[in-house]
Chains A and B, each alone.
Chain A
Amino acid sequence: MIGIIDYGMGNLHSVSSALKRLDQPYFLSDRKEELAKADKLLLPGVGSFRDAMSILNGTGLADFIKAEAAAGKPLLGICLGMQLLFEESAENGITKGLGLLPGTAERFSGVTCSGETYKVPHMGWNKLEYNRTSPLTENLDEGYVYFVHSYAVQTDDSACVIAQAHYGDRSVPAVVGQNNIFGTQFHPEKSSETGMTILSNFCKLAEGAKA
């Protein structure tokens, strides 16, 4: 059973509809005791990093997620939920994240090194380029997925980047993972068949599977 962490940030409707279509049992909850019963956790999120962390810290969900992650429970962060897995974000001043993955979220500058401007947010369909294999991206060949975000993760640990997309002059971590921790910067639930395959792969992750 998948537990969707409902902490008041983001559109849970589309994620739960997608799981329903995949015929995957799930429940929504903001209670640690309930979520502890799930065998996989999903952390969605739309909005500001600072607001999200402030809720997660205030409710004790941040410590809960860290403990569950440390115990090996598979966790998937989506969009802002993925960024929260990292160490910190520069959104509205530096805010500490969950620190489960190495890296920080920084705003797209909107200008390339050579001075050309590009639009921010990065909104629309972009192509995944695979860095390495992972159980999360099984059965996918080339695929386009739907992004909406103004901040992107920067990491020195290229091993945690499973797939990336190119935007402006940046390489944008799109699918990330380390051990039992996974994240997608795009919205798999809005990314047609490619996105549904990724969600389905997460649902089917075998116990102890590594990113």
Chain B
Amino acid sequence: MLTKRIIPCLDVKEGRVVKGVQFVNLIDAGDPVELAAFYDREGADELVFLDISASHEGRQTMIDVVERVASQLAIPFTVGGGINSLEDMKRVLRAGADKVSVNTAALLRPELITEGADYFGSQCIVTAIDAKYDETLGSWRVYTHGGRKPTEWEVTAWAKEAVKRGSGEILLTSMDQDGEKSGFNLKLTKAVSEAVTVPVIASGGAGNAQHFYEAFTEGKADAGLAASIFHYKETSVREVKRELKGKGMVIR
């Protein structure tokens, strides 16, 4: 039986981890490679790196980061942010990433998912979805551009479309919950998990181990992703996993 996965997410800008990371015993808390190794030791099941560089130079630097991380890390990792073409995917995967995640570019041109899946296999292509509840829709609407622009897509419809096109995993972020630390959006997570046949990573709102537990049980998620609670040491990957094991979950 597969374990439920705990995934820390690191935002990388111009080759450095941003959003203050508070760690002791690290020489340089902004170094993605050092942090990746730290999370590996902590028992993270996977890592996600999100490139938030605005410049072309920053994106080039990201490739170096991916290479350095790949040479140090013995767990799978996904790279997202600024993946707009098959060429971008090739660069990142050849540098050593195991998966790429696509978001806005896939909504603007869904063929991107198909092209990536045909070339690298579905297991390499993660579709990241940012969703927010919409009264008029009576459901969650999908947004592009880091949550700034609404699309016509209802979340389960887009998730199904992404999977139909060959996406092997969905990284689902609830914009309503993101940064609130009040728990994952369980209804949204459950709706998407039940709509697709591929694993769903719940994101947005994690504040403690109980929240992960709820996402895995009520939300039916396969994995849970968090950033700040791990970075700011409000809890640790090890602690979350220990609590989940205590509740009888299958955890590595």
Inter-subunit contact B96/A14 (CB<8 Å): yes
Contact B2 A126 (CB under 8 A): yes
B94 and A13: CB pair below 8 A?
yes
Contact B74 A124 (CB under 8 A): no
Shortest A187–chain B CB gap in Å is 8
Tell me how far the C-beta of A155 lies from the nearest C-beta in chain B, rounded to whole angstroms: 21
Main secondary structure of the interface of B (DSSP, over half): loop
> Residues of B within 8 Å of A, CB-based: how many?
28
- Interface contact B1-A190, CB-CB below 8 Å: no
The answer to whether A121 touches B2 (Cβ under 8 A) is no
Would you give the shortest CB distance from B36 to chain A, in whole angstroms? Answer: 12
Cβ of B179 under 8 Å from chain A: no
Determine whether the beta carbon of A21 is less than 8 Å from that of B2: no
Q: Are the CB atoms of A196 and B74 closer together than 8 Å?
A: yes
Contact A119 B74 (CB under 8 A): no
Our pick among B2, B71, B168, B252 for the contact of A167 (Cβ within 8 Å) is B2
A residues 187-208 touching B (CB-CB < 8 Å): 187, 189-193, 195-196
CB of B11 within 8 A of chain A? no
- Give CA–CA (A196, B94) in the complex, Å: 22
Q: Which residues of A contact B74 (CB under 8 A)?
A: 18, 21, 189-193, 195-196
A210 proximal to B (CB < 8 A): no
What mask results when residues 155 to 199 of chain B are scored 1 for a CB within 8 Å of chain A, else 0? 000000000000011000000000000000000000000000111
Whether B40 sits at the interface, judged by CB under 8 Å, is yes
B198 x A126 contact (CB < 8 A): no
B59 interfacial contact with A, CB 8 Å: no
- Bound form: Cα–Cα A127–B250 in Å: 10
Q: Indicate if the CB atoms of B76 and A190 lie closer than 8 Å.
A: yes
- Choose from A122, A146, A192 the contact partner of B40 (Cβ within 8 Å): A192
Are the C-beta atoms of B3 and A13 separated by less than 8 Å?
no
B5 within 8 A of A: yes
Contact call B1/A166, Cβ cutoff below 8 A? yes
* Complex Cα gap A189–B70 (Å): 10
A14, B2: Cβ atoms closer than 8 Å? no
Q: Which residues of B are at the interface with A, using a C-beta cutoff of 8 A?
A: 1-3, 5, 40, 45, 70-72, 74-76, 93-96, 98, 121-123, 168-169, 197-199, 222-223, 252
**What are the 9 closest A-B residue pairs judged by CB atoms, nearest first?**
A144-B252, A124-B2, A125-B3, A13-B96, A17-B71, A125-B252, A148-B123, A190-B76, A192-B74
Q: Provide 27 A-B residue pairs closer than 8 Å at the C-beta atoms, listed in order of the A residue.
A: A11-B93, A11-B98, A14-B70, A17-B71, A17-B72, A18-B74, A21-B71, A120-B197, A121-B168, A123-B2, A123-B123, A123-B199, A124-B2, A124-B3, A124-B45, A125-B2, A125-B5, A125-B252, A126-B3, A127-B3, A144-B252, A148-B123, A166-B1, A189-B74, A190-B74, A190-B98, A191-B74
